[in-house]
C-alpha cells in the first residue's frame, strides 16, 4: 500500500534468478528478456507469444515480436520456461517452477497449472501390463505428459 516505486524497472528479485539462469546458458541479461520473464512469471494462464508481445509492449513500446520470440527461446534454453505445443493454434509458454500438470480449457483455450507433482510410477499404477508390453516391444519410456481437459469457469 505505502511502498513507493518508480517508473523505471528497479530490478525485481526475479531478475537475480533470471540473470543467473541466462548466464549459466551463456546468454545475456537484457531489459526485453526481463520484461518477458516478469510477465510470464505473473501470468495465471499460459500466454501465447502474441499475448506476451501485447503485454510487454506497454513497458517497452519499441519491442518487436521477433524479439519476443527470441526472448522466449532464450528463456526456454535457460530452463526457466517451457514451450507448450500440445494444441491447435499458436504455442503457449509456461514459466515453470517444478513439474506440474496442465488443465486445458476447451472453451477458451487457456491452460492452467495443476499443483500436482510428477509421479514416476503413474504408468505402473495405471496399467502394469502395458509396462511389460512396452519393454518387450523395445520402447523405452522416459517420461509422460498428462493433460486434463475440461471447462474452467471464468475465474482465476
Partner DNA sequence: ATCGATGCAAAGCGTTTGCAGGGGT
Partner DNA sequence: ACCCCTGCAAACGCTTTGCATCGAT
Residues whose CB falls within 8 Å of the CB of residue 147, separated by 6 or more in sequence, listed in order: 86, 101, 102, 103, 104
Instruction: Decide: is 130 part of the binding site for DNA (CB under 7 A).
Output: no
Among all chains, which residue has been given the C-alpha cell 483455450? 109
- Could you tell which of a copy of itself, DNA, none binds residue 141, using a CB distance below 5 to 8 A set by kind? a copy of itself
User: Whose Cβ is closer to DNA: residue 67's or residue 96's?
Assistant: 67
Instruction: Decide: is 10 part of the binding site for DNA (CB under 7 A).
Output: no
User: Whose Cβ is closer to DNA: residue 14's or residue 123's?
Assistant: 14
Instruction: Decide: is 29 part of the binding site for a copy of itself (CB under 8 A).
Output: no
Residue 4 Cα to chain centre, angstroms: 30
Residues whose CB falls within 8 Å of the CB of residue 56, separated by 6 or more in sequence, listed in order: 32, 35, 36, 39, 63, 68
Instruction: Decide: is 27 part of the binding site for DNA (CB under 7 A).
Output: yes
Which one-letter DSSP state was computed for residue 11? -
Residue 121 to residue 65: CA distance in whole angstroms: 41
What stretch of H or E contains 68? helix 65-77
The residue count for binding DNA (CB under 7 A) is: 26
- Could you tell which of DNA, a copy of itself, none binds residue 9, using a CB distance below 5 to 8 A set by kind? none
Smallest gap from Cβ 25 to DNA, in A, equals 9
Among 87, 96, 109, 113, binds a copy of itself (CB under 8 A): 87
Among 16, 122, 124, 132, binds a copy of itself (CB under 8 A): 122
Instruction: Decide: is 98 part of the binding site for DNA (CB under 7 A).
Output: no
Among all chains, which residue has been given the C-alpha cell 528478456? 33
Query: DSSP 3-state assignment of 28?
Result: coil
Question: Interface with a copy of itself by CB under 8 A: which residues?
Answer: 83, 85-88, 103, 106, 112, 114-116, 119, 122-123, 125-127, 130, 133-134, 137-153, 155-156
Amino acid at each position: 500500500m505505502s511502498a513507493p516505486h518508480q517508473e523505471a524497472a528497479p530490478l525485481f528479485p526475479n531478475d537475480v534468478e533470471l540473470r543467473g539462469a541466462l548466464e549459466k546458458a551463456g546468454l545475456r541479461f537484457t531489459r526485453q528478456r526481463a520484461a518477458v520473464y516478469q510477465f510470464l512469471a505473473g501470468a495465471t494462464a499460459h500466454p501465447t507469444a502474441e499475448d506476451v508481445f501485447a503485454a510487454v509492449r506497454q513497458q517497452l513500446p519499441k519491442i518487436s515480436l521477433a524479439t519476443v520470440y527470441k526472448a522466449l527461446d532464450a528463456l526456454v534454453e535457460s530452463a526457466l520456461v517451457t514451450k507448450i505445443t500440445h494444441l491447435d493454434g499458436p504455442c503457449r509458454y509456461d514459466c515453470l517452477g517444478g513439474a506440474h500438470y496442465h488443465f486445458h480449457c476447451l472453451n477458451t483455450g487457456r491452460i492452467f497449472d495443476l499443483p500436482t507433482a510428477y509421479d514416476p510410477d503413474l504408468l505402473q499404477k495405471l496399467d502394469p501390463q502395458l509396462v511389460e508390453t512396452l519393454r518387450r516391444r523395445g520402447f523405452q519410456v522416459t517420461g509422460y505428459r498428462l493433460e486434463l481437459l475440461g471447462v474452467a469457469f471464468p475465474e482465476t
